[in-house]
Amino acid sequence: MTPAVVGRRRVVFLLALLGFQLSGVVCEELRKLSVSDWWEKSGFYQIYPRSFKDSNGDGIGDLKGITQKLPYLKSIGVKAFWLSPIYKSPMADFGYDISDFRDIQPEYGTLQDFKDLKAEANKLGLKLIMDFVPNHSSDEHEWFQKSENRVAGYEDYYVWHDGKPGDDPNQNDPPNNWVEAFRGSAWRWSNIRKQYYLHQFHYKQPDLNYRNSKVVEEMKNVLRYWLDLGVDGFRIDAVNWLFEDSQLRDEPPSGESDDPLRPEYLSHIYTRDMPETTDMVYQWRAVMDEYKQQHGGDTRVMMTESWSNLDIVATYYEDVNKRQGSNMPFNFQLILHLNKNSKASNFKTVIDSWLNIVPDQHVANWVLGNHDQRRVASRMGGEHMADLMAMVGLSLPGVSVTYQGEEIGMTDYEVSWEDTKDPAGCQTSPTDYQKYSRDPARTPFQWDNSSKAGFTSGSTTWLPVNPNYLTVNVDYQEKASNSHLKVFKKLIELRDEDIFHDCLYGVMAVGDNVFGIVRTTTPLHEAPVYLTLINIANQAVNVTTQTIYSGFSVSFTSDMKVAVASVSSKRSEGNSVSLNNLELQPYEGLVLRAGAAVLMLSKLLSLLLVFTVFLLW
Ligand code: GLC
């Protein structure tokens, strides 16, 4: 072999190596999604019943109000809604303290009103998901009263303990240092039973004892009861709090607070995420699947609430033996890790962190807010971010979950100390309640610009109405030529296209301020491409084809058309956009569409090099 041939081979080898580098490192491979079940394709919506719509003028939302507004849900394109609790409750934690798991809170209506709501939802093709609160009942629940009085069979329905001897001759000290979620000891002395009971939330929310098989069976029967009433699934509340350390060991300080009564003060290694929890979730999955087998119908869907580390959250989907659990372990990453100071790279990291834990055959979900958190627009810096975050939540393949009001850009309202109702706020002080109260995200839904935002015909509301209701309301935004509501509707419409159900997709940061999502499908040369670009900065940013192509292992025609534009954009649907020269305005968000010209650039490059090797060898 002559030295010239050897030299040529070396060059060719180096080029081939470079090609593979480009395909594997510089350009990320697109991920694949393929879904078929009803819920995997759906937009979900959360209703907080107390604040959605009041039908009888008492200033409190109710079931008839929800029924009246179902056509609105239909009109915005969501396919399913989940209801925060509507069960009978003394309202210490606004419905999460349940005194009868099988009946409706009279302020909200009757069981017949529930049946009417379900029938109307069926008519409109909307699925109804109930909140299931397994960790605790109200202290006014019949089981608790029986347990407190040591009625035979009920003694161990809750977690009881004598406590530790202390200075007080009449009453022991609490068994350990555990604290409740709203501040203060997690143990309360019962003068009747002369023992402490555990309450990880409010003292009126005693923890049920899941080490008692009777409790396990009772709660399964609660699921069956609502399945018989036709519900389409459950959102499972505070699921990682179900079990506690059976030795009741003290929890170590976390170093995150100086106040020993605050939940952040401790590392919750003995009260949350106990290994038994996921087994319980798999058992509930089995109840729902068995119900489907016996009664037919569509998959009953399970959504679970657990603010745990991602490796733990992943186990809610399934275990190593593929035993199935939650369809949607809620993905709170966008809530936990994005805020108004986030950069585009933070968006990518946070989104990839979730995509990386979703097991094969399962689907991602995207939650932007709920009744326990500050509203997404406020967290991200203001109403101008509403469309951009909707573009993220609704452009990402998988299930989107919208909290009521996000679609019209509702923001937090700073409720005064006097008006504060949430125990998480009330159990603090007038100086720091705003840090903890969840009321700002729970103010009444804003329907129109009439008095009380059309939420009620009465003169008072249980929480004050946000004064921005004059423009941030459904009626105004339906009539406006462009609005958050219209943007939301267009985004959700796009999700009905096939490209949402079988697609290749990827996310990228274009510099500091532009975040992008690409979505396409196979065969690549025929498939449309959707490119979502949001500029999260208050300044114009130039985007070029080079920057986009270097982030995704895909290239496409630079001439695209606007499919959806944020309210902040001067562009409209159908406008042409050239990626060769695209200046995004401050806080502009666009969903762009291109026709069929799609090539896997890096793959093509690799192929070309391999072909060259072949020719030159
Ligand atoms: C969940 C609910 C929250 C409630 C708590 C106790 O986190 O979302 O509102 O206070 O559980 O049930």
Cβ(207) – ligand 1 distance below 6 Å:
no
H helices of 455-544, in order, are 474-479, 484-494
Catalytic annotation present for 131: no
d(CA 182, ligand 1 centre) in Å: 10
Nearest residue CA, atom 12 of ligand 1?
96
Kindly indicate the confidence band of residue 502, based on its pLDDT and cuts at 50, 70 and 90.
confident
Q: Residues 98, 92: contact at Cβ < 8 Å? A: no
Cβ(330) – ligand 1 distance below 6 Å:
no
Kindly indicate the confidence band of residue 465, based on its pLDDT and cuts at 50, 70 and 90.
very high
d(CA 96, ligand 1 centre) in Å: 6
Cβ(469) – ligand 1 distance below 6 Å:
no
Per residue in 134-167, is it b (16+ CB within 10 Å) or e — as a string? bbbbbbbbebbeebbeeeeebbebbbbeebeeee
pLDDT for position 21: 41
pLDDT for position 603: 54
3-32+501-603 architecture in CATH? Sandwich (2.60)
Side chain identity at residue 159, one-letter code: V
d(CA 130, ligand 1 centre) in Å: 14
Cβ(455) – ligand 1 distance below 6 Å:
no
- H helices then E strands: how many in the chain? 18, 24
pLDDT for position 3: 62
Check the CA dihedral 198-200-204-210 and report its sign.
negative
- Which one is catalytic: 107, 113, 237, 383? 237
Kindly indicate the confidence band of residue 10, based on its pLDDT and cuts at 50, 70 and 90.
low
What is the rounded CA–CA span in Å between residue 39 and residue 398? 9
Cβ(133) – ligand 1 distance below 6 Å:
yes
Beta pairing partners, 233:
129, 301
Least confident of 403-412, 419-428, 548-557: 548-557
How many residues can be counted in the chain?
617
Residues of the chain with CATH 3.20.20.80: 38-131+331-486
Give, rounded to a whole angstrom, the gap between the first and last alpha carbons of the chain.
Answer: 12
Cβ(389) – ligand 1 distance below 6 Å:
no
d(CA 436, ligand 1 centre) in Å: 13
Kindly indicate the confidence band of residue 362, based on its pLDDT and cuts at 50, 70 and 90.
very high
d(CA 158, ligand 1 centre) in Å: 18
Percent of the chain surpassing pLDDT 70: 91
Phi/psi for 217 (5° steps) reads -70, -40
Q: What is the largest CA-CA distance in the chain?
A: 100
Nearest residue CA, atom 11 of ligand 1?
238
pLDDT for position 6: 56
pLDDT one-digit tens code per residue, 174-204 = 999 999 999 999 999 999 999 999 999 999 9
What is the rounded CA–CA span in Å between residue 417 and residue 432? 10
| Percent helix / strand / coil, the chain, rounded to 5 | 35, 20, 45
Mutate to test the pocket of ligand 1, among 237, 240, 303, 422 (most ligand atoms within 8 A of CB): 237
- Residue 319 half-sphere exposure toward CB, CA atoms < 13 A: 12
Kindly indicate the confidence band of residue 599, based on its pLDDT and cuts at 50, 70 and 90.
very low
Cβ(237) – ligand 1 distance below 6 Å:
yes
Nearest residue CA, atom 3 of ligand 1?
372
Ranges assigned E (strand) in 347-454: 365-367, 399-403
Ligand 1 nearest atom to the CA of residue 423, by list position: 10
Cβ(201) – ligand 1 distance below 6 Å:
yes
pLDDT one-digit tens code per residue, 212-247 = 999 999 999 999 999 999 999 999 999 999 999 999
> Which residues have a Cβ under 8 Å from the Cβ of 50 and sit 6 or more positions away?
60, 61, 84, 94, 95, 108, 442, 462
Class of domain 38-131+331-486: alpha beta
The token pair at 198 is 């555990």
Average pLDDT, integer, range 371-394: 98
Cβ(94) – ligand 1 distance below 6 Å:
no
Nearest residue CA, atom 9 of ligand 1?
372
d(CA 532, ligand 1 centre) in Å: 34
Angle at 444 between CA 441 and CA 450, to 5 degrees: 140
Cβ(232) – ligand 1 distance below 6 Å:
no
Cβ(96) – ligand 1 distance below 6 Å:
yes
Nearest residue CA, atom 6 of ligand 1?
96
Mutate to test the pocket of ligand 1, among 51, 139, 372 (most ligand atoms within 8 A of CB): 372
Cα dihedral 98→102→107→108 (10° resolution): 110
> Which residues have a Cβ under 8 Å from the Cβ of 430 and sit 6 or more positions away?
417
DSSP strand pairing (328-329 vs 301-304): parallel
d(CA 238, ligand 1 centre) in Å: 6
Average pLDDT over the chain reads 92
> Which residue do the tokens 């609704």 mark?
394
Nearest to 461 by CA among 73, 52, 82: 52
Ligand 1 nearest atom to the CA of residue 372, by list position: 9
pLDDT for position 22: 40
Beta pairing partners, 324:
318
> Which residues have a Cβ under 8 Å from the Cβ of 336 and sit 6 or more positions away?
307
Tell me if the bond preceding 329 is cis, omega within 30° of 0.
no
- Residue 183 half-sphere exposure toward CB, CA atoms < 13 A: 17
d(CA 530, ligand 1 centre) in Å: 37
Phi/psi for 416 (5° steps) reads -70, 165
Cβ(238) – ligand 1 distance below 6 Å:
yes
pLDDT for position 613: 62
- How does DSSP assign 308-335, residue by residue? --HHHHHHHHB-TT--B--SEE---HHH
Q: Could you tell me which residue, 142 or 41, shows the higher pLDDT?
A: 142
Q: Per-residue pLDDT for 24 more than 60?
A: no
d(CA 164, ligand 1 centre) in Å: 29
Average pLDDT, integer, range 127-136: 98
- Count other Cβ atoms within 10 Å, centred on residue 71: 11
Three-state SS at 514: strand
Q: What is the DSSP letter of 28?
A: B
pLDDT one-digit tens code per residue, 437-453 = 999 999 999 999 999 99
Least confident of 24-38, 144-158, 298-312: 24-38
pLDDT for position 20: 43
Cα dihedral 62→327→283→84 (10° resolution): -10
Q: Residues 261, 178: contact at Cβ < 8 Å? A: no
pLDDT one-digit tens code per residue, 535-575 = 999 999 999 877 777 777 667 777 899 999 999 999 999 99
Mutate to test the pocket of ligand 1, among 83, 93, 132, 335 (most ligand atoms within 8 A of CB): 93
H helices of 322-418, in order, are 333-337, 344-355, 376-379, 386-395
- Count other Cβ atoms within 10 Å, centred on residue 411: 21
d(CA 562, ligand 1 centre) in Å: 40
What is the rounded CA–CA span in Å between residue 314 and residue 202? 28
The token pair at 112 is 């017949």
Cβ(372) – ligand 1 distance below 6 Å:
yes
What does each C-alpha distance from 203 to 198, 336, 591 come to in angstroms? Answer: 8, 27, 48
Least confident of 10-19, 200-209, 500-509, 555-564: 10-19
Q: Per-residue pLDDT for 408 more than 80?
A: yes
- Which one is catalytic: 113, 139, 232, 305? 305
Ligand 1 nearest atom to the CA of residue 133, by list position: 12
Catalytic annotation present for 237: yes
Categorise residue 291: left if φ over 0, alpha if ψ from -120 to 50, beta otherwise.
alpha
Residues of the chain with CATH 2.60.40.1180: 3-32+501-603
Least confident of 215-229, 299-313, 425-439, 518-532: 518-532
Kindly indicate the confidence band of residue 523, based on its pLDDT and cuts at 50, 70 and 90.
confident
pLDDT one-digit tens code per residue, 93-112 = 999 999 999 999 999 999 99
Q: Per-residue pLDDT for 500 more than 90?
A: no
Angle at 335 between CA 333 and CA 339, to 5 degrees: 110
Side chain identity at residue 605, one-letter code: L
> Which residues have a Cβ under 8 Å from the Cβ of 358 and sit 6 or more positions away?
314, 317, 364, 398
pLDDT for position 498: 83
